[in-house]
Structure 1
């Protein structure tokens, strides 16, 4: 838990230095790098321990994945990347719908968020502004970080005393498959 926090602090310090001296795309890259440890820390500390944190994190994770997949399907020319984006969109849409369907019984009075938080919106903005030559690498790096965060969140919550724990367990194999495929694509780049 300390490593992600320290990495996040280091990335934020790097971000501060880069914002004054680098191109906008370099700044975006540092922002993306900082988002991973911040998300991991959030998943470990709150999301995997409290229903009130699990629901918004799982919902926003799915929303981010769906939006990022849509952008990849529009911008990428890489067939493997587009195949992964299609799988991600399908699986995260199904996961989102399943969780929303469980909320009335599992967490009465709770609704899933309908918009991304600032961190995930920043990732989407960085995808949209990535140059054509850097898009695929930017997308795949974001996917690896996002799926590691999602695994931490869902694996951690899977043992909780909540009806949503079954949902957390059910999505882990698909997230693992997405991560393996993203890592294989990155290795081939």
Structure 2
């Protein structure tokens, strides 16, 4: 209910700003809508990771693959748009680690879950997050990226922790266990950088 009210308020702010013809107010309202959309995406992702993703092989592999694709695309954007050198360094680390994770997932899933078709494109939720990154004002980009990273990595940790003891797919469960420290490191680094802003 709270998210619906926030989304409604952000939408009204955008409408009011557009009616005023004030470009600054419209931009501020648009940023508020994007922030709300990202926050809602985080909640939806957490719920999805804790339910479907953590309980089925198909859900786990698909969720992990799409999340990994988002991380790679977001990191590439951050490498060009971030203004803080530490944020750019985090993006480089994330790009490297998630590229390796994607390769490991592909090879593991091909033998441990050969019937699961890995996605080749982002889902609508993550496309929206990428759109919000691309739309972020230069002064706001670093914060938007870091906020998204904390939410996305928390979602991935929920997914990995939920699947890490899956006895029906022990090879994938081992992969989940192996990924937890790296994902935790990314999330914690993003939090340190946000705290320093």
C-alpha distance in 2 between matches for 1:10 and 1:51: 32
1:153 to 148, 153, 159: 159
Paired position in structure 1 for 2:103: 97
Paired position in structure 1 for 2:179: 171
Whether the aligned pair in 2 keeps the contact of 1:64 and 1:116 (CA below 8 Å) is yes
C-alpha distance in 2 between matches for 1:12 and 1:129: 22
User: Offset at 1:24?
Assistant: 1.4
1:55 to 53, 57, 61: 61
Q: After TM superposition, which residue ranges in structure 1, 4 or more long, deviate above 2 angstroms?
A: none
2:4 to 9, 12, 18: 12
C-alpha distance in 1 between matches for 2:45 and 2:127: 13
Whether the aligned pair in 2 keeps the contact of 1:44 and 1:152 (CA below 8 Å) is yes
**Structure 1 portions without partners, runs of 5+:** 1-8
User: Offset at 1:104?
Assistant: 2.1
**Structure 2 portions without partners, runs of 5+:** 15-28
- Pick the structure with greater CA Rg: 2
C-alpha distance in 2 between matches for 1:10 and 1:28: 16
Paired position in structure 2 for 1:3: none
Q: Deviations over 1:56-115 (max 9, x none)?
A: 110011000000000000101211101110010111111111011112211122221010
2:112 to 86, 103, 106: 106
1:21 to 13, 16, 19: 13
Paired position in structure 1 for 2:21: none
